[in-house]
Amino acid sequence: MSKQDGSSRQVTTGPVDDSATPILHVDMDAFFVSVELLKRPDLRGKPVLVGGTAGRGVVAAASYEARKYGVNSAMPMSIALQRCPNAVVLRGDYASYSTYSKRVMEIFQEITPLVEPLSIDEAFLDVSGARRLHGSPAEIAWTIRRRVLDETGLTCSIGVAATKYVAKVASSRAKPDGMLVVPAADTITFLHPLPVSALWGVGSVTEESLARFGLRTVGDVAAMPASALERAVGPALAAKLGSLANGIDPRHVHTTRTEKSIGHENTFGHDLVDPVEIRRELLRLSNNVAVRLRKAGLVARTVTLKLRYGDFRTVTRSRTLSEPTDVARRIYDEASDALGELIGDGERVRLIGVRAEHLRVSTTGAMLWDPDEDWRDAERTIDEVTAKFGRGAVTPAALVGRVGDRRAGRPRSGAPGGNGTAAAADHDGTAADDEDTAAAARGWGW
């Protein structure tokens, strides 16, 4: 049995058939803010923001009281304070968030070994093998919520379903501090009335494309002939959305995660106009990405450039390489070519990001002809010098006196892989889930 209150919140309140719902999605409620409120209980019930106010600081997390004013994570702090001028802004303490995250994940591991962390504040659990010891999936969800509250003072919301996708949607509907079980037999009934933004892979751009075809709900997408859906969003996304709209998601809970992408981005304290400064920053970001690739023993087949203009328009361009690489010069060349297509004289640039995608493990074998051999040898030598003498011991000449030394705030370095971290204009995630994770993954910028 479930009920829905005056908002979109929906929670399970009584007995329900959870016999075929072994997947749990646990999401901490306004995690960063909630941890801060443990130290500042006097701020409970007030609009609270975690983030930075200097320069172009962004909102890393917003309390539910602040969200009523239209404030959300990743929003520029200046805009957030215009919408909610009485908000209390806290700088944040990532070390504390990590400590609490570790304890929460330990609670999950004590219930089942099948835990797939998605970020610092959410995870999927498969409780198929935990029933004999801990009870049914719904009982396990109640146990987790009680233990998290008792042992940390924090609340979480849990979705219980037959698949990962439906469990994640359910947890977002149960927020804050709720649990929603979606019986396997009720999956379609649950999904079809939801807006298309509830489908993974549907951000604002795709939502507009679907709306032009009259598709506004998940049920509309499910009823759309495959050929017509392909015309709206292309074959690959059409196949994905068609499956999700019909409750089909064959993915399992994986206890180990592989990086899907590695990226860095930076929001500047002032818009950049000088092409030399812009390309210098592009080189710095490309170098940082390449260093992380080599440390992880990975190479990338695709290089993606993200650009945000002074008027907040955001675009991305991707280049697929003939051979995967971990060489900064190659990454820079591809990103630089893409940049040339996106900026003209006098164009103001607010943010630049470089991301390496389609990663695979680097092999020791060399190609018969390797055009990047000299650059690769040079960059690996720099890695060795850096390991011995510290970062900055050797720096590309083009980066001496770089614009990054004069910008306000710290670089916003993207975290490896995972949901929501691919910084495309159309994000891949459940749109209804407006939590701290996306802002954390994109970096602090405080």
d(CA 443, CA 414): 6
Tokens of 160: 């219980």
- For residue 412, the 8-state DSSP code is B
Taking residue 95's Cβ as centre, other Cβ atoms within 10 Å add up to 7
Annotated catalytic residues are: 122
d(CA 431, CA 114): 26
- For residue 429, the 8-state DSSP code is S
DSSP of 183-233: -GGGHHHHHTTSBGGGSTT--HHHHHHHHHTT--BHHHHHHS-HHHHHHHH
DSSP of 310-350: TT--EEEEEEEEEEEE--HHHHHHHHHHHHHHH--TT--EE
Question: What does residue 169 show for φ and ψ, rounded to 5 degrees?
Answer: -60, -40
Alpha helices in 356-426 (DSSP H): 373-389
d(CA 337, CA 193): 44
Tokens of 437: 């994770």
| Res. 249 pLDDT band, cuts 50 70 90 | very high
3-state secondary structure of 10: strand
d(CA 350, CA 272): 7
Which residue numbers belong to the known binding site? 27, 121
3-state secondary structure of 397: helix
Taking only the tens place, the pLDDT of each residue in 110-144 is: 999 999 998 899 999 999 999 999 999 999 999 99
Q: Which residue has the tokens 């999700």?
A: 244
The answer to whether residue 255 scores a pLDDT higher than 70 is yes
What is the percentage of the chain residues whose pLDDT exceeds 90?
A: 60
Element (H, E) at 235: helix 235-245
The single-letter code of the amino acid at 193 is P
Domains of the chain with CATH codes: 190-245 (1.10.150.20), 261-417 (3.30.1490.100)
Beta bridge partners of 221: none
d(CA 357, CA 207): 24
Which residue numbers belong to the known binding site for Mg(2+)? 27, 121
d(CA 370, CA 366): 7
Taking only the tens place, the pLDDT of each residue in 148-170 is: 999 999 999 999 999 999 999 99
DSSP of 46-107: S-EEEE--STT-BEEEE-HHHHTTT--TTSBHHHHHHH-TTPEEE---HHHHHHHHHHHHHH
**Residues for the chain: how many in total?**
446
Beta bridge partners of 33: none
Closest CA to 403 of 216, 306, 314, 273: 273
Taking only the tens place, the pLDDT of each residue in 185-221 is: 999 999 999 999 999 889 888 899 899 999 999 999 9
- The whole-number average pLDDT for the span 296-316 is 90
**pTM greater than 0.75 (yes/no):** no
The answer to whether residue 376 scores a pLDDT higher than 70 is no
Taking only the tens place, the pLDDT of each residue in 213-241 is: 999 999 999 999 999 999 988 898 999 99
pLDDT for the residue 73 = 86
Q: Which residue has the tokens 């106010």?
A: 53
Closest CA to 328 of 374, 368, 265, 389: 374
Residues 6 or more apart in contact with residue 194 via CB below 8 angstroms: 169, 217, 218
Contact 221, 195 (CB under 8 A): no
Question: What does residue 87 show for φ and ψ, rounded to 5 degrees?
Answer: -70, 145
